[in-house]
Amino acid sequence: MQLKTMRNLDVKGKKMLVRVDFNVPLDERGKVTDDTRIKATLPTIKYLVDKGAKVILMSHLGRPKGKVVEGLRLDDVARRLSELLGREVKKADDCVGSPATEAAEGLKEGDVLLLENLRFHPEEEKNDPAFAKSLAGLADLYINDAFGTAHRAHASTAGVADYLPAAAGLLMEKEINTLGSILADPRRPFVAVLGGAKVADKIGVLKNLVNKVDALLLGGGMANTFLKAAGSELGDSLVDDEHLQFAEEFLATAKERDVQVALPLDLVIAASAEQNDALVVDADNVPRGRRALDIGPRTAEHYSQLIKEAKTAFWNGPMGVFEKEQFAHGSEMIARALCRPGLTSVVGGGDSLAVLEKYGLAGQVTHASTGGGASLEFLEGKELPGVFKLME
């Protein structure tokens, strides 16, 4: 099967319904505080505008649970998009019904319209056919450019494609091609760096990647479970005891397949993330009353060296509580190692991207994926509903 892309469509004068991911953070005044996801969609929007399409954008924002929440309206998103595009972005007061229909009908070639928050309607997340048909009725063609929501079978990500010809936007195309290439034909050595809090969140991707990579570098809270499975004393550190057996079996499987699994050599510990009493200990010797909150400097150096020796690297999940400066060193070292020229580096997950942003490195990796959960499920080998509908 092959991905259908919008490059092959005649869009001039057509009303294009485009699913984007404008689920961006807002401050208490409703102002956009991080426009990374908005900027990521600009190539698709500009392409359609330049080709004379009538562009109708739709997105969700937050979790309004099927009700109108004033603080989750998309008005400021429309304002920010207008600034980035350098042209007016019209805003509809709803995503279906007369407000949406009238706004769509009034569009001229090159106009851009943003519909109101899809999740103000409970039918969106239920993938309700009637709701999907109402959305589809606004346009002639459907473009999905929201990779970050492609793992959800919602009305706007999957249902609409039952009623309109569908294709991938430029961002979706880039995500699928990049992630697909590192799975199918990576330049080797290929290393994956996995962090974050819980083993449970990464079981699927661990099982799939152990058949693809040359080395797995584990950090963050999830590494504690593997350390305990290997016999380390972890004090009060976060450990997923329910998955200790999985960790033991996984380490044995990786050894059988000659895949290196690198675990922390040392750890930065403290009584809690709020305490200013950090110290470095060996990874097998965390005392009671202390918990691991970052990989230690020896580990960070070791992992950085393994990344420097690689030709392809994937990273998902921070190495520690990077929001606190005293526990951010490990994540920073990983981020900087991934920026080496000549390395194909792919980063996914909101926290990992936040680390790149924190140190001004976002533009220095090969690809920063806009989909956290979607990128993990893709790397697990799962079929993503929003992508499946775009295949031919």
Which residues belong to the active site? 37, 198, 350, 373
- For residues 344, 348, 350, 355, the Cα torsion angle rounded to the nearest 10 degrees is -30
Residues facing 269 on adjacent strands = 279, 292
Angle subtended by helix axes 42-50 and 75-85, to nearest 10: 70
238 within 8 A of 221, measured Cβ to Cβ? yes
Dig out the tokens for 184 from the structure.
């199918």
Q: How many C-beta atoms lie closer than 10 Å to residue 230's C-beta? A: 14
Residues facing 113 on adjacent strands = 56, 90
Spatial CB neighbours of 318, under 8 Å, sequence gap ≥ 6: 195, 196, 219, 220, 330, 331, 351, 352, 355
CA gap 160, 270 in Å, rounded? 50
CA gap 186, 198 in Å, rounded? 27
**Of residues 242, 244, 201, 246, the one with CA closest to residue 220:** 201
CA gap 79, 87 in Å, rounded? 10
At residue 29, what are phi and psi to the nearest 5 degrees?
-95, 0
362 within 8 A of 356, measured Cβ to Cβ? yes
CA gap 206, 80 in Å, rounded? 38
